[in-house]
Amino acid sequence: MNNVIVLVAKRIGAAALTLLLVSAVVFAITSLLPGDAAEEALGQGATPETVAALRTELGLDQPGHLRYLHWLGGLVTGNPGQSLANHLPVSELVASRLPKSMVLAGTTAAVSVPLALLLGVLSAMFRGGKVDRVLNLFTLSMVAVPEFLVATLAVLIFAVKLHWLSALSSPPDNPTFAQFLRVYAMPVMTLSFVIVAQMARMTRAALIDQLEQTYVEMAVLKGAGPTRVVLRHALPNAIGPIANAIALSLSYLLGGAIIVETIFNYPGIASLMVDAVTSRDMPLLQTCAMIFCAVYLSLVLIADVCAIVSNPRLKGH
C-alpha cells in the first residue's frame, strides 16, 4: 500500500511541475502574439502618450519575468487580472462561462462513455467475426469525419430541413427536460461522434490484449463462455488501460469544444477563449489556456492513478 501512495504522490508532483512549466510556455507564447494589448484596447486613434500610460498601468512596460511572476501569483490566488476587452475581472468572466462548459462536457461524457464501452466490449467479444468487422468499419468511419462537418450536417438536417432543433445552442437558466434536449442534442452528438469511436477502439484493444493472456486460456479450458470470459476475467484486469483510454478520449473534448461552441454559438469557456484571441485580451486568453491545460493534466493524472491502483504489478514498483 505504501508503494501505491508513493507512486500516486510522484504522479501528482509530476503533474504539478508540468502545469508550472506549461504556465511559463503559455505566458511566453501569448506574449509573442502580434499586436499590443494597450493599442488594441485604446484603438488606432490613441496617442502615443495615452498608449504609454496604459502600458504602465497594465504593467506591460516591466520585464517579462516580473510580469510572469505577477501573473502566476494572481493565478494561484484566484485573481488572474482584468479583462482588457470587457473591463471586468477575468475570474468573473470565467465563472460565468465555465459551468456551462462543464455541463456540456459532463453530458457528453455521460452519453459517450457507456456507448463506447459497450461497442468496445462487443467488438472484443466477437473479435474476428461479422460484428467486429462491422463495428470496426463503423468506428473508423466516425474517426475519419471531422467535428465541423458533423456539426454542419447536423444543423442542415435537424435545424434547416426538419426544424426539430435550433441551430444556436443557448441554454436558459432553469431549462426543462425538453429544453435541455433541444439545446444539447446537436453539440453532444457532434462531440460524441469522434470520442465514441476512439474510446471504443482503445477499449477493444485493451480487452483483446487481456484475452490473449494465459489466465483467459485457462478459463476457456474450464468451460467459461465468451461473455463470462470478457466480463468476469478480462474486463477487471483491463480497467487501467480502459481508464487511460477514457481519459485520453475525454481530453479530446478540449479541442472539439472550441469548434462546437463556435459553430453552435454555445456560451462556454472555449468560445470565450476564441473571443479573447480575436480581441488580443491576454489576461483572459492566458487564463482560459491554463484551464484547458489543467483539465487535460487532471484527466491524465486520474488515468495514471487508476492504472496504479488497479494493476497489481505496479504496486510492487
298 within some domain: yes
59 within some domain: no
In the prediction, which pLDDT does 111 show? Answer: 92
47 within some domain: no
Instruction: For residues 282 and 56, give the distance between their C-alpha atoms in angstroms, rounded to a whole number.
Output: 16
Instruction: For residues 61 and 45, give the distance between their C-alpha atoms in angstroms, rounded to a whole number.
Output: 21
Of the chain, the percentage scoring pLDDT greater than 90 comes to: 11
For the chain, give the secondary structure using H, E and C. CHHHHHHHHHHHHHHHHHHHHHHHHHHHHHHCCCCCHHHHHHCCCCCHHHHHHHHHHHCCCCCHHHHHHHHHHHHHCCCCCECCCCCCEHHHHHHHHHHHHHHHHHHHHHHHHHHHHHHHHHHHHCCCCHHHHHHHHHHHHHHHCCHHHHHHHHHHHHHHHCCCCCCCCCCCCCCCHHHHHHHHHHHHHHHHHHHHHHHHHHHHHHHHHHHCCHHHHHHHHCCCCHHHHHHHHHHHHCHHHHHHHHHHHHHHHHHHHHHHHHHCCCCCHHHHHHHHHHCCCHHHHHHHHHHHHHHHHHHHHHHHHHHHHHCHHHHCC
**How many domains does the structure of the chain reveal?**
1
Overall average pLDDT of the 225-229 stretch: 78
Above 60 in pLDDT, residue 317?
Answer: no
Instruction: For residues 211 and 90, give the distance between their C-alpha atoms in angstroms, rounded to a whole number.
Output: 50
Give me the amino acid identity at 180: F
- Contact by Cβ (8 Å): 201, 169: no
Give me the amino acid identity at 175: P
Out of 29-38, 58-67, 299-308, give the one with best mean pLDDT: 299-308
Above 80 in pLDDT, residue 48?
Answer: no
Q: Tell me: the pLDDT tens digits for 246-271? A: 887 787 777 678 888 888 888 888 88
Retrieve residue 176's grid coordinates.
Answer: 426543462
Q: Tell me: the pLDDT tens digits for 164-202? A: 888 888 888 788 888 888 889 999 999 888 788 888 988
Give residue for cell 473534448.
253
Overall average pLDDT of the 18-45 stretch: 76
Give residue for cell 501573473.
71
Q: Whole domain around residue 275: which residue ranges?
A: 2-33+78-315
Q: Which pTM value belongs to this model?
A: 0.80
In the prediction, which pLDDT does 114 show? Answer: 92
Instruction: For residues 282 and 276, give the distance between their C-alpha atoms in angstroms, rounded to a whole number.
Output: 7
Overall average pLDDT of the 25-46 stretch: 71
Retrieve residue 211's grid coordinates.
Answer: 484475452
Rg (CA), the chain: 24
52 within some domain: no
Helix axes 269-278, 90-125, angle to 10 degrees: 130
39 within some domain: no
CA nearest to 204, candidates 110, 126, 287, 298 = 126
Instruction: For residues 179 and 184, give the distance between their C-alpha atoms in angstroms, rounded to a whole number.
Output: 9
In the prediction, which pLDDT does 41 show? Answer: 64
Residue 82 phi, psi dihedral angles, 5° rounding = -110, 135
68 within some domain: no
Q: Tell me: the pLDDT tens digits for 180-189? A: 888 899 999 9
Backbone dihedral region of 267: left (phi > 0), alpha (psi from -120 to 50 degrees) or beta? beta
242 within some domain: yes
Q: Identify the CATH number of the domain in which residue 93 sits.
A: 1.10.3720.10
Name the band, by pLDDT with cuts 50, 70 and 90, for residue 45.
low
43 within some domain: no
